[in-house]
Structure 1
Amino acid sequence: MLRALARALVFLVVVAAVIGGGVAWFLHAYRSPGPLTAPATVVVERGSGLTAIAAQLEAAGVVGNRWVFLAGTALEGGDRSLKAGEYAFAAGISPADAADLLARGSNVSHKITIAEGLTSAEIVALVQAEPLLTGDAGEAPADGSLLPETYQFIRGDTRTAVIERMRKAMRETVDGLWARRTNGLPFKSPREAVTLASIVEKETGVPAERPVVASVFLNRLQASMPLQADPTVIYALTEGKKPLGRALTRADWKLDSPYNTYLVVGLPPGPIANPGRDALAAVLKPAVTDYYYFVADGSGGHVFARTLEEHNRNVAEWQKRRQAAPPSPGDAAPDTGDKTP
């Protein structure tokens, strides 16, 4: 009897040792460096279960044995929810670290860059065309409500979420700049500042000029002079949905529209594009000048003038340069001045 009991105890000890040894082996393998010799990226699709993920990691060479990954995650509680997404795995990553990474979520980000001066319709089209985002972008929000910038996102983010981030960034940026604005500016609301910033954004691509261009328009507003900004007429013609595709004509300056700043004194009803941070800052902390006119200088920038007489001389010089040399991109820049037909 005692001898049989002893044999049973020995058998149980041996089984326990075998099981314990197996567990120890699995845990050792689970925590040891994996077979990757170079970084690798793996995309885990939505709906993938633990077994499918283990097989995918084995196929990608992230783990050497899927069963080690499965056993290790089970033994360490790693069979918790592993998330779909895009993952960059370092060379030699252990199955345990791979599981931790999958539990935290995607660690690969992408970016979409929105250029200053685009309309909301153009921005929505760019977001809609981004293949790594999901869902429909929806209708274009009001112009002036999205902040042009570079935005990071992860594969599978929704298009509406990215657009909402742009909307939030614009609100926060405008609120911050509005709170620190120069005293005495002729704006009744932040929206009016965004409206002027959108015009400044479309008038010049030279960062250093923005505060000066802003001062010209502010001087005109305070003097009850029409802004005479060509981009507002283009917006009136296209509603911001497409490029005009041709040069403006004198007939365009007669267009009956609240956005036609040749006929309407003051600001148009709303922004004509989405201005960037620098253009917003320029209209809320403009340069202090006595300029009322500017014209393209033929090299991408502008020449500024205090009087119409001085401005007309600058226009004549610009026309001479255009006739003497092939036009450069700067020659197409609109000018502000007395252009009444």
Structure 2
Amino acid sequence: MWRNIASSFLTLVLVLLVVAAAAIAWGRKEFSGPGPAEVAQCVQVAPGASLSAVSKQLADQGAISNAYVFRAGADYLGKAHELKFGSYLVPPGASMEEIIGVVTAGGPSTCGTEVILRVGVRETTVLLRDMNSRTGAYEEMARYNPATEERPAEIAAAEEKADARLRVLMAEGVTSWQVVEAVKAVEFLSGEVSEVPAEGSLAPDTYAVNRGDDRAALLAEMARRQAAILEAEWEARPFGLPYETPEEALIMASIVEKETGVAAERPQVASVFVNRLERGMRLETDPTVIYGITRGEGILDRGLRRSELNAVTPYNTYRVDGLPPTPIANPGRAAIRAALNPDTTDYIFFVADGTGGHAFSRTLEEHNAAVARWREIERQRGEPADSPVQGDG
């Protein structure tokens, strides 16, 4: 009898081992094989979320086939306690192993609802975007200008969502006044701004914020970043540049920023103005004259008048020598680097060439020919001729 019992027990053990081996093999296949999702999934990990909650969410979304296998695999990999807060895009068919890698690696969020305050040179807008799960791409859902339009209901609702990402995007070449007016206009920030920061002192960049963040603190962070950029670029500058202080380099960078929208041209434009300073020539650049008129508070949507070009003001570089007294906008890192690392050229003139870029010249004769070509392009477009300037205004 005992022999029969022992034989039955061994048989049961063998069956259990076979079942266990099959279960393990199945679990490994489920864990490492392609997942069930046919479209991209936005996986949102809340602050302090547990592995159990995330695995249930993934199973409910259809991103994984089995929440228990997901948790067991995370435990096996030693990543059960390494979840990182954020919203992450998971591609179609991603395995559980791949998903664990995504939600524990961290980094910037790559999907989900986001509200962006875009501070631009010509317009400030608040944009609502969300991810299309079928394409994996962000799509615009709504937008408005906070200075002139009412906030749409869908943007107001998005700003209140706990998992929505809020960002402030500051473009190169905007003025400090424009930045202050923009951050004061949106309702997801709070606090007073007592004064406009010094022109040029704010770093064009993208800033992640939380609902209710203090406006003054955000401006202080912008200033901190710009100071760090200027310090690093100033320390790395070559010898022989016509700047006595970092502030003078920042002024030049702001002029370069306003003179061209073509990134590759910045070092060439900087070389023109450096060459003029070194030869004792006036800078003769329209953006400085315009800043003297507007003080950075808005756009001058017209050409400069002859009386404005003739007026003697600190910012009229047609009438005064050297640099203007302050920057005329907030330059980005690339413009600061260009001002401190200009190309080595003989250029002392440039003018628009009709392609969005500029024609650079070494002599007045070459420049006059380039100006004539530009005037002809203006005539063909039916545009009024610009004032006769030596730097494209």
Q: Do Structure 1 and Structure 2 share a fold, with TM-score over 0.5?
A: yes
The aligned residue for residue 228 of structure 1 is: 284
Does the CA contact (< 8 Å) of 1:226 and 1:262 recur in 2?
Answer: yes
The one-letter amino acid paired with 1:35 is: G
Deviation track 1:106-125 (CA, whole Å, cap 9, x = no partner) reads 57548998765344566788
Q: Aligned in 2, Cα 1:18/1:215: closer, same or farther, shift over 3 Å?
A: closer
Deviation at 1:58, TM superposition (A): 0.7
**Greater mean alpha carbon deviation, residues 40-49 or residues 102-111:** 102-111
The aligned residue for residue 267 of structure 1 is: 323
The aligned residue for residue 199 of structure 1 is: 255
The one-letter amino acid paired with 1:277 is: A
1:43 aligns with 2:43: yes
Gaps spanning 5+ residues in structure 1: where?
none
Deviation track 1:201-250 (CA, whole Å, cap 9, x = no partner) reads 32234567655543443344345544232101222333334322222223
Higher strand share: 2
1:335 aligns with 2:389: yes
How far, CA to CA, are the matches of 1:105 and 1:267 in structure 2? 46
Does the CA contact (< 8 Å) of 2:230 and 2:246 recur in 1?
Answer: no
Q: Aligned pair count?
A: 322
The aligned residue for residue 63 of structure 2 is: 62
Paired residues for 1:101-180 under 5 Å: 101-106=102-107, 109=110, 116-119=172-175, 142-145=198-201, 168=225, 171-172=228-229, 175-176=232-233, 179-180=236-237
The one-letter amino acid paired with 2:83 is: L
- Of residues 355, 359, 380 in structure 2, which corresponds to 1:325? 380
How far, CA to CA, are the matches of 1:103 and 1:255 in structure 2? 62
Q: Secondary structure at the match of 1:29?
A: helix
**Greater mean alpha carbon deviation, residues 40-49 or residues 118-127:** 118-127
Higher relative contact order (CA 8 A, sep 6+): 1
Deviation track 1:225-278 (CA, whole Å, cap 9, x = no partner) reads 442321012223333343222222234346675333344422122322315526
1:247 aligns with 2:303: yes
Deviation track 1:86-137 (CA, whole Å, cap 9, x = no partner) reads 223355544355334323325754899876534456678899999xxx9779
Does the CA contact (< 8 Å) of 1:253 and 1:260 recur in 2?
Answer: yes
1:84 aligns with 2:85: yes
Deviation track 1:40-77 (CA, whole Å, cap 9, x = no partner) reads 23231424443332221012222112344345556776
Q: Aligned in 2, Cα 1:276/1:302: closer, same or farther, shift over 3 Å?
A: farther
The one-letter amino acid paired with 1:190 is: P
How far, CA to CA, are the matches of 1:102 and 1:316 in structure 2? 57
How far, CA to CA, are the matches of 1:63 and 1:86 in structure 2? 17
Deviation at 1:175, TM superposition (A): 3.1
**Greater mean alpha carbon deviation, residues 186-195 or residues 85-94:** 85-94
Q: Percent identity?
A: 35
Q: Aligned in 2, Cα 1:33/1:214: closer, same or farther, shift over 3 Å?
A: closer
Gaps spanning 5+ residues in structure 2: where?
112-137, 139-166
Q: Secondary structure at the match of 2:346?
A: coil
How far, CA to CA, are the matches of 1:302 and 1:104 in structure 2? 48
How far, CA to CA, are the matches of 1:268 and 1:89 in structure 2? 51
How far, CA to CA, are the matches of 2:260 and 2:91 in structure 1? 45
Runs of 4+ more than 6 Å apart: 17-24, 110-114, 123-130, 134-140, 151-156, 158-163
Does the CA contact (< 8 Å) of 1:298 and 1:322 recur in 2?
Answer: yes
The one-letter amino acid paired with 1:33 is: G
Deviation at 1:85, TM superposition (A): 1.6
Q: Aligned in 2, Cα 1:306/1:144: closer, same or farther, shift over 3 Å?
A: same
How far, CA to CA, are the matches of 2:230 and 2:326 in structure 1? 18
Instruction: Please report the TM-score for the alignment, with normalisation by the length of structure 2.
Output: 0.58
Q: Aligned in 2, Cα 1:109/1:142: closer, same or farther, shift over 3 Å?
A: farther
Does the CA contact (< 8 Å) of 1:201 and 1:210 recur in 2?
Answer: yes
CA RMSD across the alignment: 5.5
Instruction: Please report the TM-score for the alignment, with normalisation by the length of structure 1.
Output: 0.65
